[in-house]
Chain A
């Protein structure tokens, strides 16, 4: 079982390397992280926090967009691509379970995400600590951001596999992935903000709003990181509501979402008839 999962993972790594996905993911993360760490160090004095904690708050806002995007870009092709190329029927006649195939892809794609995230955050941390030697006190927040980013990535990898299985065509899967990314990461927050403004401190804001934030893996990720590093004041928008939700709840959402999305992916893949 483990051997078959790693066989798939190593094959997927070859493919990702040749298709430049590794390079693209690493470059995206490094470029944006470095730009943010350079630009985000301006308000340090006013807040009285160390520079790295502030950079982590900025990186959190960045990762909410970037990590799901990179994860979806790597995963939308996973099943639909096999169907369209005609490679799936042959693969499924091998003595390998469908979930093992998905697990292999997950291992490879997660490994690429880990490399990209480590490179991006690492570059930001090195730059920041170079500028401010007191910044080492923010390393705990950075570590928290790193492992939660990997979990967020895994969640969206699972979502990508599920969409890929449902669409069965690469173009359809790509459209679904972009649509879902826009919906969950951009429009969802805008919708919530509009509802909160319209509600003006009523029942929606106190009861539904926190649950709505926890239900979205991207929002839960942002809440958890901002609450834990007590950097909510440095964040704008929906993130500003972080203190309203207890830490354990956002942690639970961050931890459970990968399981849910990968479970959905496995179910969707089982229903694909080659």
Chain B
């Protein structure tokens, strides 16, 4: 653990932030290591954007410690190494995509000659010389992504980066992230929903009501949630009652027998079902969905 802390690009411990008496973040701790992709999940108002703004130094924390690339958040040294993609990235509508990216590159002391390559990387080369005012939401999001790739950021903070992107663009986006992480960048991205992050991240953090309610990889969260596994038994005509006798807890719905059991009982239950194989047409095992797991954690605090 100690080693991991040493190499963490982003370190937050016991962070608390209050807005006019309302607690936006309560005792939040997390770390993102170099090369790690971390997803921050939570409902609207769970505190994701506030947490990101604290990391970026846009707002200050009340209590707790934050270290970004070894510096205080918002400090000039920290800003050198951090890239940000705001939720609904907005730009001046009168500038062209190329002018906007050129401006950002010059602010980061990068040669502006690379602006076109960068726009090409996010698939915007064809529209580079059009005003951003004429862009679609997805295109603006790509400008946002392009500016986050300027230089070689050591930490990328991405606020709902995939909103407004179609499924194909979303896949391209994750491929881009994989490349950045492989080059050693630490990535923290937020999302409303577990399905959005497509499990293409190393670690999941779930915020609810300003508190960190879960932390771990997807299999870890699945285990911790210990949600029941649901099974659907399709009986061969006429054998319904026999099966209902063997599994009194089963519920009949739409001609299918529904059964739920805990993770621990899953194999034993399947063994009992297989004994009835002559009376069954089919069995389906449905693990808890990503949405179920997410709801389980994010509703724990009475949300």
Contacts and interface: CB of A to CB of B under 8 A. Distances in A.
Contacts of B106: 3-4, 6-7
A94 B108 contact: yes
B56 interface: yes
B92 A85 contact: yes
Interface in B197-232: none
A66 B173 CA distance: 51
Contacts of B76: 95, 97
Given A11-B92, A18-B131, A86-B90, 10 more contacts: A7-B103, A89-B56, A89-B58, A90-B90, A93-B57, A94-B104, A94-B107, A95-B107, A96-B107, A274-B58
Contacts of B131: 18
Contacts of A11: 92, 95, 99-100, 103
Interface bracket on B: 20 to 34
Interface size class of chain A, counting residues whose CB lies under 8 Å from the partner chain: 20 to 34
Nearest to A91: B107
A89 B56 CA distance: 9
Interface in A93-119: 93-97
B175 interface: no
Given A3-B109, A4-B107, A15-B94, A93 B99 contact: no
Contact of B58 (A8, A10, A14, A93): A93
A87 interface: yes
Nearest to A82: B92
Contact of A85 (B79, B84, B90): B90
Contacts of A18: 94-95, 131
A12 B13 CA distance: 40
Contacts of A10: 103
Contact of A87 (B58, B80, B92, B99): B92
Interface of A: 3-4, 6-8, 10-11, 14-15, 18-19, 85-87, 89-90, 92-97, 273-274
Contacts of A95: 76, 79-80, 107-109
A18 B86 CA distance: 25
Nearest to A84: B90
Contacts of B94: 14-15, 18-19
A90 B59 CA distance: 13
* Most chain A beta-carbon neighbours within 10 Å: one of B56, B90, B91, B144: B90
A89 B53 contact: yes
Contacts of B104: 94
Contacts of B107: 4, 7-8, 94-96
B89 interface: yes
A112 B95 CA distance: 18
B88 interface: yes
B82 interface: yes
Sort A-B residue pairs by CB-CB distance and give the 4 closest, nearest first. A7-B106, A86-B90, A18-B94, A11-B103
Nearest to A16: B94
15 contacts: A4-B106, A8-B103, A11-B92, A15-B95, A18-B95, A85-B90, A85-B91, A89-B56, A90-B147, A93-B58, A93-B79, A93-B83, A94-B79, A94-B104, A95-B80
